[in-house]
Amino acid sequence: MAHQAISQDTLWEKVAKSIEFIPAEYSSRVQPESVAREMLRCESVEIDRLVDAGLPFEERSGVRHFDANDLYNLGMYSNKGNTQPELAFRMLFRFAGRPVDALLREKSWDFKVQLECVDCAGVAPWHFEAPDVARYGGRAEVATTPQPSSGSAEYAATITTTGARTPIVSPVLRQLTQDYLDAGYRWQMIPVPMQADYQLVHSLGATSCIAASLFLAERFRSAGYRAEAKRGWFCGVLGGALDLPHACVEVEDDDGAVRTVDIAKSQLAARLSADTADFQELCLGSVYNKVIPSTASGNASFGHHECGSQTPAQVRADIRSAR
């Protein structure tokens, strides 16, 4: 009953004002109103209020359709407590409040990636940016790699990750990281193609994993460090309930070691709960077992099909804890 009382009082106008809607050129308004109501646990009249407050939509066959990122961000910042985005993030980051030792152990994952070329022009080789775990103490036992084909292909492997406490030593890198955190950019779900335009994202006062890493890598390089944003997979995203793109910055530290800064995870954890300080610190240089790094650079896609089709291939990962 407590939740119901809160939901009737949700100041949707205020929530709508507090987030940045995805600009039209990056927006994909395909979620029907029924999905919006379910995600936000609200009634039609509340959707009306959101639309009045600026929530972009497209009407098709008399039904309003919305961008999934907009709905996620409204839910995340609604403070209702029962929206799907809030529940998903709370579940996803539950680990961040626990002792971090569990994140430093070896862990194995059943890792499958489905590559799909929806407008396929015929048989051709695939290019896939595979897991790249050996550099951080992990290993991959590859079962299937994409073979030349048309339409679709699969990569399957057992990936073992591990962790290590290797905090950033350079005071300069520490300061640049802290400056970024102090700047108060607001974490939002943002479509991957828009995140590549990291200057646009930050000019809106927003941030997200890939955009944050591209931005911070640029700052590190400006300070004379060798740094590159790299994409990877963040494990434990249950049943695909949350398609959370992952990226971090790889930077050569003062002692010559290459370390990773996972700035957006640190920021997200801080936003979700105050008892995640140890995890937040782990994100600044250390390695933990819930991330599978890849060979893809920060603004690259994980895969493409060389058939000549202009439509980008879709890459879907299914990562489960191995027994």
What residues make contact with Zn ion under the rule CB under 5 A?
Answer: 117, 120, 305, 307, 309
Least separation in angstroms between CB 36 and Zn ion: 33
**Residue 255: CB minimum distance to Zn ion, A:** 45
Contact 179, 200 (CB under 8 A): no
Structural contact between residues 212 and 271, judged by C-beta atoms closer than 8 angstroms: no
Residue closer to Zn ion, measured from CB, 117 or 194: 117
Rounded CA Rg of the chain: 20
Rounded least distance, CB 301 to Zn ion, Å: 14
Which of 111, 92, 100, 108 minimizes the C-alpha distance to 162? 108
Name which of 65 and 304 has its Cβ closer to Zn ion. Answer: 304
| Coil, strand or helix at 58 | strand
Nearer to Zn ion, 119 or 254 (CB): 119
- Residue 85 or residue 146: which is nearer to Zn ion going by CB? 146
DSSP string, 8-28: HH--HHHHHHHSPPPPGGG--
Q: Which H/E stretch holds residue 89? A: helix 84-92
Q: Cα–Cα distance between 111 and 293 in angstroms, integer?
A: 12
Distance of closest approach, residue 131 Cβ to Zn ion, in angstroms: 23
Q: Cβ 114 to Zn ion, closest distance in Å?
A: 14
Any idea what the Cα angle at residue 245 is, between residues 244 and 249, rounded to 5°?
Answer: 130
Q: How far is CA 249 from the centre of its chain?
A: 14
Nearer to Zn ion, 154 or 281 (CB): 154
How many alpha carbons lie under 13 Å from residue 298 in its C-beta half-sphere?
27
Rounded to a whole number of angstroms, the distance between the first and last alpha carbons of the chain is 39
DSSP secondary structure string for all residues of 273-292: -GGGHHHHHHTEE-B-TTEE
Which of 70/129 has CB closer to Zn ion? 129
The least CB distance from residue 118 to Zn ion, in Å, is: 8
Q: How far apart are CA 40 and CA 7, in angstroms?
A: 10
Pick from 100, 69, 67, 102: nearest CA to 269: 100
Report whether 242 contacts 88 (CB < 8 A): yes
Cβ 126 to Zn ion, closest distance in Å?
A: 9
- Least CB distance to Zn ion at residue 300 (A): 18
Smallest Cα–Cα separation from 265: which of 252, 250, 247? 247
